[in-house]
Structure 1
Amino acid sequence: MIQDTPTALHADSYARIVKDKANKRRVADLSMKVVQNAYSEKTFLDLNEDVGNLVTGYSALPGSSERLVYSAEQLCSSEVGELTWILKDWIMAGGINLIAGMPAAGKSFLALDLAIGIASTGFAWNDQPVPLGKVTYHFLDGSFRGMRSRVLKLCNARGIQPPANLIFDFSPLSLREPHEVLALKQRISSQGVSVVIFDVMAKFAPGADENSVAEMSPLMNSMREIANQLGTTFILIHHLNKGISNDFSYRVRGSTDILGSVDTAIIVNYENSTAANSMRVIQPQKMREAELPKPLRFQLVSEDQKITLKFSDTENTQLQKETGQQERYFQDLVDYLHANPNQEFMKQDLIQTLNLPQEARTVGRAFAQLLRDPRIQIGKRG
């Protein structure tokens, strides 16, 4: 008998059981009232209050506990602690993080290097510290064989065995289906998963219109609820569209709600050529609660069944040179326009007059910067 009696050690679990039973009784009682009303002269409007009390006590995610509702006083007096990171200045702990880029830009390798570090050594991305934990990597963007090869080569480069705390899930999963989201939440909780990666996000929203806020918002809200309740960190691998804008906020594919819903967003792109061993740039696009860090550069080096991610910052790199060129071109444009006020110029005329390189992307960026300058009036003819 003593062995079956709940102790303080099991108080939390026992409280959840009691609460769950109480909720089930409330549902059963309400069901009986519905049946009784069906055979009486009472209208169903009499049940409005009972139904409202039952529904508002639950989260938008079926099977969840009570809604996260606080008064302003409770919210401001709560202990939330300092902002924490999975990867300092780049991947926020307990948040939704986006890694976007064109195909083969290196998005998955960045996510894998991070996942292996969390699940094994505690270091990732050029030996930056990361917290140890269990990672679930949901992968539907390639073959089992291809992922196996990547993981083996990355682990070989680190001199470690593939970690048991990195779990790969190759099963289809739809974040559009509430029961599948609930099952995901239960797995995260029961298995003690701290980081969940979806590669690529679109594969886990089959049939959804990525450009529709109405269809993408529920997906993002479900992940946010899990993150808020369990402290889970989500990392979403996503594609850019095929546009030519230098402002990457317009290049994240799909609805603006995707970028708007995440806590951090980084863009991965080739620096110059698209060769396999060429330099890539990690450009911060959004940090909800922190300053944008400096861009990083990395290279995928493959040799002897090993793949290494070699990182460097952007000091004295081509990226900085391009930034300096962009500023010079922009200032030349502004100076020329101010020297010739109240006149209209075509973009091509300015390029020829100032002898700017026709195809240089820094020139395009300078004109994009000019479009945002409130001192300059831009006509519709370009």
Structure 2
Amino acid sequence: MLVELRSTGCQTVFPPSIHPSGEAITWHKEGQPTQVSKAELEKACSKLASAVLIAKHWPSQGTRQDTALALAGGLIRLGFGEEEAERFIEAVTVGAGDEESRDRVKTVVYTARKTGNSPTTGWKRLSELISEEVVNKVLQWLGVEKREEEKQSRPNVEIKLWTATELMETDFPEPSWLIPGILPEGGLVLLAGKPKVGKSWLALNMACGLSNGGAVCGIPAEKAVKTLYLALEDTTRRLKTRIQQAGLTPNENSLISTTWPKLNEKGLTLLEETIKQAGIQVVIIDTLAKVKPSSKSKVVSLYDNDYEMLGSLKELADRLGITVVIVHHLRKSESEDPLEEVSGTTGITGAVDTILVLKRARTEADGTLFITGRDCEEQELALRFNAGRWEVLGEAKLYEISKERREILEAIEKLGGSASPKEIAEITERPHGSVKHLLRKLEEDGLVTSFNGRYSLTTSLNDIHPDNSVHPVYSIHSIHSVHPIHSIHRSPGEQGEYSVNDTIHPEKCSNDEPFGDSVNAVNTVNGEPVVLARSNVSQLDIEVWEI
């Protein structure tokens, strides 16, 4: 006897009676009777009978692990959840007197899920290990025909095989951008930074800027898209305040929520349903920790946990053709490689398509954004945080050079307009050699003059990039780097006459006010004239920056 299911009109014997077969009748669990539907009871009895039948035919030592693995694969393919499969296998192994029942349960379900449709798992392999007759009966009791189950287990995947010649002869479209140079269209993106560095401000700017086709970090979005922003560390009141502080434009294309279930608690399913119903094109999850599965089998490595978690989001993004941005934290320790600063294992950075690392020193407005990915060039941009918004200033290394030069000029001004390298080094706390190198560059550019070992300003600091930044140029397709490419020079004593050095052609560079106090440097982008910089012509040399 495996299971008896009795109903009205049948005599029932209770413990401590003895069954006619000689077996003692005992309670499975202590407790009060409860109500259950006929269908639920029949399903539970079918599972119990199946587990008992397999337990009666459980093999001896030597093949038990293989048998448990095959059973786990079969149950998972029938739609059993991980916990449900673990309970079933535990019932079988305990009933069979398997001494390693507990350890076996911990490993086989995870292994079976990872190996997928491997020949080592599933009902076919179980038939070889115990008995085809037993397996057929179990499948019957579980309400599944074996042939149908095996058919369902076959992957319905089309595989395209390319020759190297075909690959080289095929024209593939260039990657498209939502925010040129920063946020690509499609795939999984990681935005990482230390706590309170401004990640959530940037995420909010992305959500609102993309939804109305406005600017993000001062760069116009390529198009307006519908966004879903899961601000899981914020309150609705705080979000309203931040939108007002940043001067963002609210609109119907931007959906916001401050609560969401974890991915393994129907969070992933709810996310897919919301994306489809609302037509979402960009999802921003702030932060990863809020949706990270709360529990996982202890035998699974941390790397596998991280990679599998983000892999589910990447699969969703790729399948639906959307962009998913995950906000995450950096470690406390610094590293020369920005990717090594991302909190967690390399499974996180390995699973995503694009990585953005935001850095900003405490109490400072300026920061950097490191960008790398599968389809974008590695770069680091200088940013400035102002009134709730981040703004791109230019390529980080060149912006830092600009800051260093200005510090030297400010030091000379503080010292009365004339100073020695030693005095400048003391006030700026820079090495003496570094100061002398910067002074030579400034002298070459005509910003300082030297006499008897002292350096003096040639013009007021207000005339030299008064905003202390690289002039941003927004009419661009993609930012890769900012570099000084030309200078415009006015010969001394020749009012209104200007010459253009290097490669700007005369027809692409003009002076709209030939006898006035200013000059425009003009270049072309996509055939259209673009003003690169405007500066007072009291300077002999004017730097022009192009992005």
Answer yes or no: same fold by TM over 0.5.
yes
2:366 to 276, 279, 282: 279
1:300 to 385, 389, 409: 385
Deviation >4 Å, runs of 4+: 45-49, 73-80, 208-211, 319-322
Name the larger-Rg structure: 2
- Tell me if structure 2 keeps the 8 A contact 1:92–1:263: no
- Tell me if structure 2 keeps the 8 A contact 1:94–1:227: yes
1:121 to 207, 210, 213: 213
- CA 279–211 in structure 1, closer or farther in 2 if over 3 Å, else same: farther
Q: Structure 2: where are the runs of 5+ without partners?
A: 1-77, 79-122, 124-131, 140-144, 405-429, 432-547
Root mean square deviation, CA, Å? 3.4
Q: Secondary structure at the match of 1:131?
A: coil
Partner of residue 286, structure 2: 199
Deviations 1:120-150 (A, max 9, x none): 1343221333321110011211222222211
Deviations 1:314-351 (A, max 9, x none): 364226789xxxxxxxxxxxxxxxxxxxxxxxxxxxxx
d(CA) in 1 for partners of 2:301, 2:287: 16
d(CA) in 1 for partners of 2:175, 2:227: 21
d(CA) in 1 for partners of 2:223, 2:264: 30
Q: Secondary structure at the match of 2:281?
A: strand
- More helix, by proportion: 1
d(CA) in 1 for partners of 2:237, 2:401: 35
- CA 255–52 in structure 1, closer or farther in 2 if over 3 Å, else same: farther
Partner of residue 341, structure 1: none
Q: Secondary structure at the match of 1:138?
A: strand
- Tell me if structure 1 keeps the 8 A contact 2:211–2:253: yes
- CA 226–241 in structure 1, closer or farther in 2 if over 3 Å, else same: same
Q: Structure 1: where are the runs of 5+ without partners?
A: 1-26, 28-33, 35-39, 58-65, 323-355, 358-382
Deviations 1:25-64 (A, max 9, x none): xx9xxxxxx9xxxxx957439965532321345xxxxxxx
d(CA) in 1 for partners of 2:310, 2:391: 32
Deviation at 1:73, TM superposition (A): 4.7
1:213 to 273, 282, 303: 303
1:94 to 164, 176, 186: 186
Task: Name the amino acid aligned to 1:310.
Answer: E
Partner of residue 145, structure 1: 237
d(CA) in 2 for partners of 1:308, 1:89: 18
Count of matched residue positions in the alignment of Structure 1 and Structure 2: 266
Q: Larger relative contact order (C-alpha < 8 A, sep ≥ 6)?
A: 1
- CA 127–230 in structure 1, closer or farther in 2 if over 3 Å, else same: same
- Tell me if structure 2 keeps the 8 A contact 1:124–1:130: no
d(CA) in 1 for partners of 2:302, 2:203: 26
d(CA) in 2 for partners of 1:239, 1:225: 22
Deviations 1:193-215 (A, max 9, x none): 00000101111114258981222
Task: Name the amino acid aligned to 2:277.
Answer: S
1:70 has 2:165 as partner:
no
d(CA) in 2 for partners of 1:148, 1:246: 37
- CA 101–43 in structure 1, closer or farther in 2 if over 3 Å, else same: closer
Partner of residue 260, structure 2: 172
Deviation at 1:242, TM superposition (A): 0.8
d(CA) in 1 for partners of 2:378, 2:293: 33
- Tell me if structure 2 keeps the 8 A contact 1:172–1:204: yes
Task: Name the amino acid aligned to 1:113.
Answer: N
- CA 319–194 in structure 1, closer or farther in 2 if over 3 Å, else same: farther
Partner of residue 39, structure 2: none
Task: Name the amino acid aligned to 1:70.
Answer: I
- Tell me if structure 1 keeps the 8 A contact 2:187–2:353: yes
- Tell me if structure 2 keeps the 8 A contact 1:117–1:123: yes
Deviations 1:207-266 (A, max 9, x none): 258981222222212112111211010101110011132222211000111101111111
d(CA) in 2 for partners of 1:211, 1:105: 30
- Tell me if structure 2 keeps the 8 A contact 1:119–1:132: yes
Partner of residue 230, structure 1: 320
Summarize the alignment of residues 7-156 of structure 1 with structure 2, pairs less than 5 Å apart: 43-44=135-136, 50-57=148-155, 69-73=158-162, 81-154=173-246, 156=247
- CA 319–250 in structure 1, closer or farther in 2 if over 3 Å, else same: farther
d(CA) in 2 for partners of 1:223, 1:269: 25
1:184 to 271, 292, 316: 271
Partner of residue 516, structure 2: none
- Tell me if structure 2 keeps the 8 A contact 1:85–1:92: yes
Q: Secondary structure at the match of 1:203?
A: helix
d(CA) in 2 for partners of 1:81, 1:52: 40
Identity of aligned residues (%): 24
- CA 121–249 in structure 1, closer or farther in 2 if over 3 Å, else same: closer
- Tell me if structure 2 keeps the 8 A contact 1:99–1:268: yes
Q: Secondary structure at the match of 2:314?
A: helix
d(CA) in 2 for partners of 1:130, 1:201: 27
- Tell me if structure 2 keeps the 8 A contact 1:211–1:255: no
d(CA) in 2 for partners of 1:78, 1:176: 40
- CA 42–200 in structure 1, closer or farther in 2 if over 3 Å, else same: closer
Partner of residue 318, structure 1: 400
Partner of residue 367, structure 1: none
Task: Name the amino acid aligned to 1:82.
Answer: E
- CA 321–153 in structure 1, closer or farther in 2 if over 3 Å, else same: closer
Deviations 1:292-312 (A, max 9, x none): 13x22222223xxxx343330
Task: Name the amino acid aligned to 2:290.
Answer: K
- Tell me if structure 2 keeps the 8 A contact 1:134–1:195: yes
Q: Secondary structure at the match of 1:121?
A: coil
Partner of residue 352, structure 1: none
Q: Secondary structure at the match of 1:193?
A: coil
- Tell me if structure 1 keeps the 8 A contact 2:304–2:347: no
d(CA) in 2 for partners of 1:260, 1:41: 45
